[in-house]
């Protein structure tokens, strides 16, 4: 493994930028991936989040392109979310600051006019989400014939999010003679098969077993019966724990994220907490991330849109308020802490309906998460009737997934019988009411 960046034969401009960024020696993914990328090979890179994989492909691309040339893109980096695309663009600008290379980032959620204007001025590196890239390409503003390098970052997430049709279209419009790079924290067999479409004799670089959490992250698990008790337990972290200096709270849905955010707002105010989810406008999302990055707020409540690629230093704690349904997202969530060799803690709250997903996560990461008892001072609430029903229904659905013949408390036959009974009762009641109405009419007629 390379002990310093000079061994990669980077030019002085790149070395100065690396030194200024505060990096002294390459991470394992950088040591293993940079040499084959510099040699022009296709690379399939698998490394957990927070290990420096963005630099592992950005640095060789900058070295390869060297200086600004022409008006058309020579490197294209595709990312699944606008947040990750913006993060990559920041890295490109940081590492290319002593060159004259031009980079532009494009993503959805805002009008394309300004992005098209930036592209029309000429560029070397384009960072994009697949949908926005295709929109601008089809409108005639991107020329791909000079493209030398194509990168898919978080390739598994792109395929999970249904970007495969756009990626296939991209592959049809780029030169056949090009270098392809795929990077991800997780790489399922399905993704590996799909990657065979566009990787030619790739060098596979795998730094850790797939979906392994960083060694610097201490994990804890609490079995919590319901939403209100989760809120009570969350209080102890945001109010009582002096070690919680910077916290991300992950929720599965926008509704839960909004509820948790409102609870925290009552405790603190907007100077302490921000929320990040897909319903928020683009500017609000950017402002929330920047406020958290710059230590202007201590707590960020987020859905999984923020779980990938948001490189925020010194996050002391991550709390999974809900267990993720996409198992790989657990690794990405907890990878927000314990970055760059710093220590961090990841805490998960799990209700009975989430235990199914928790077991799948433990199988994926090949370890059991240590279980902690709910502290004695945390009030354990009674589970309300509706929440009890929702949990029971979800557990039934999970059992059906594992055993299609399973008939639970909410199986279809019972539901259909209940519907038929309800319809009969309604028809009977409606019939009675009609009878009364008709009787009323006939009486009125007689009176006339």
**Is the CATH code 3.40.50.300 the one for domain 5-206?**
yes
Distances, alpha carbon 371 to alpha carbons 28, 238, 354, in Å:
31, 20, 15
- Neighbouring C-alpha atoms within 13 Å toward the C-beta of 128: 25
Q: What is the pLDDT of residue 279?
A: 62
Mean pLDDT, residues 154-170 taken together:
84
pLDDT of residue 447: 46
- Percent with pLDDT over 70 in the chain: 84
The answer, yes or no, to whether residue 228 has pLDDT greater than 90, is: yes
> What would the mean pLDDT of 144-156 be, rounded to a whole number?
92
| For range 305-309, the mean pLDDT | 55
Task: Calculate the average pLDDT of the chain.
Answer: 84
Taking residues 270-287, report their average pLDDT.
Answer: 76
Q: What is the 3-state secondary structure (H, E, C) of 28-54?
A: HHHHHHHHHHHCCCCEEEECCCCCCHH
For residue 261, pLDDT beyond 70 = yes
Instruction: Over range 145-151, report the average pLDDT.
Output: 96
Ranges of CATH 3.40.50.300 domains, the chain:
5-206, 217-380
Q: Name the region of 427 (left: φ>0; alpha: ψ -120 to 50; beta: rest).
A: alpha
- Whole-number Å distance between alpha carbons of 408 and 396: 6
pLDDT at residue 332 in the model: 80
Predicted local confidence at residue 305, as pLDDT: 63
Indicate the pLDDT class of residue 446, thresholds 50, 70 and 90: very low
What is the CATH number that goes with domain 217-380?
Answer: 3.40.50.300
Handedness of CA 178, 179, 185, 191 (dihedral sign): positive
Quickly count: other Cβ atoms within 10 Å of residue 202's Cβ. 18
Banded model confidence at residue 401, pLDDT cuts 50, 70, 90: confident
Q: What is the pLDDT of residues 89-138, one digit of tens each?
A: 988 999 999 999 999 999 988 889 999 999 999 999 999 999 999 999 99
Concatenated DSSP letters of 334-347? HTTSS-TT--EEEE
CA distances from 105 to 77, 132, 142, 365, 413 (A): 9, 10, 13, 33, 53
Q: Which residue has the higher pLDDT, 252 or 77?
A: 77
- State the pLDDT at residue 443: 42
Task: State residue 435's pLDDT score.
Answer: 54
The single-letter DSSP state of residue 220 is E
Cα atoms in the Cβ-side hemisphere of radius 13 Å centred on 49: 29
Output the CA torsion sign for 330, 334, 336, 342. negative
What are the residues whose beta carbons fall under 8 Å from the beta carbon of 445, sequence distance 6 or more?
Answer: none
pLDDT higher at 75 or 446: 75
Rounded Cα distance between 46 and 156, Å, is 10
Nearest Cα to Cα of residue 63 among 74, 71, 52: 74
What tens digit of pLDDT does each residue of 381-397 get? 999 999 999 999 999 88
Q: What local confidence, expressed as pLDDT, does residue 363 receive?
A: 86
Q: Which residue has the higher pLDDT, 329 or 111?
A: 111
Supply the pTM of this predicted model.
0.58
Higher pLDDT, 165 or 215: 165
DSSP class of 74: S
């Amino acid at each position: 493994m390379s002990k310093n960046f000079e061994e990669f034969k980077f030019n002085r401009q790149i070395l100065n930028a690396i030194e200024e960024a505060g990096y002294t020696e390459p991470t394992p993914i950088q040591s293993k991936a940079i040499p084959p990328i510099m040699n022009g090979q296709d690379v399939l890179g698998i490394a957990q989040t927070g290990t420096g994989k963005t630099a592992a492909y950005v640095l060789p691309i900058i070295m390869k392109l060297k200086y600004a040339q022409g008006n058309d893109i020579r490197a294209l980096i595709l990312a699944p979310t606008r947040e990750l695309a913006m993060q990559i663009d920041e890295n490109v600008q940081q590492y290319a600051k002593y060159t004259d290379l031009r980079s532009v980032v494009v993503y959805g959620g805002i009008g394309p006019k300004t992005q098209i204007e930036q592209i029309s001025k000429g560029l070397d590196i384009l960072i994009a989400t697949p949908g926005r890239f295709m929109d601008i390409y089809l409108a005639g503003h991107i020329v791909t014939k000079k493209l030398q390098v194509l990168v898919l970052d978080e390739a598994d997430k792109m395929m999970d999010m249904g970007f495969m049709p756009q990626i296939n279209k991209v592959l049809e419009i780029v030169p056949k003679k090009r270098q392809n790079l795929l990077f991800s924290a997780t790489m399922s067999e399905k993704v590996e098969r799909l990657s065979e479409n566009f990787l030619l004799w790739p060098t596979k670089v795998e730094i850790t077993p797939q979906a392994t959490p960083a060694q610097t992250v201490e994990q804890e698990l609490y079995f919590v019966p319901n939403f209100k008790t989760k809120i009570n337990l969350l209080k102890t972290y945001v109010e009582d724990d002096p070690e919680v200096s910077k916290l991300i709270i992950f929720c599965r849905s926008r509704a839960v994220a909004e509820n948790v955010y409102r609870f925290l707002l009552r405790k603190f105010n907007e100077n302490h907490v921000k929320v990040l989810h897909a319903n928020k406008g683009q500017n609000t999302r950017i402002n929330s991330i920047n406020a958290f990055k710059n230590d202007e707020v201590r707590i960020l409540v987020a859905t999984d849109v923020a779980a990938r690629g948001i490189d925020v230093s010194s996050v002391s704690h991550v709390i999974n308020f809900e267990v993720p349904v996409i198992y790989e997202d657990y690794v990405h969530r907890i990878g927000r802490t314990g970055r760059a060799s710093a220590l961090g803690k990841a805490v998960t709250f799990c209700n009975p309906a989430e235990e199914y997903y928790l077991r799948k996560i433990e199988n994926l990461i090949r370890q059991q998460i240590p279980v902690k008892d709910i502290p004695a001072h945390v009030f354990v609430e009674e589970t309300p009737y509706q929440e009890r029903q929702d949990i029971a229904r979800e557990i039934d659905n999970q059992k059906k997934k594992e055993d299609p013949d399973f008939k639970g408390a909410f199986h279809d036959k019972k539901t259909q019988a209940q519907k038929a009974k309800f319809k009969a009762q309604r028809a009977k009641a409606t019939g009675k009411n009609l009878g009364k109405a008709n009787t009323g009419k006939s009486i009125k007629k007689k009176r006339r």
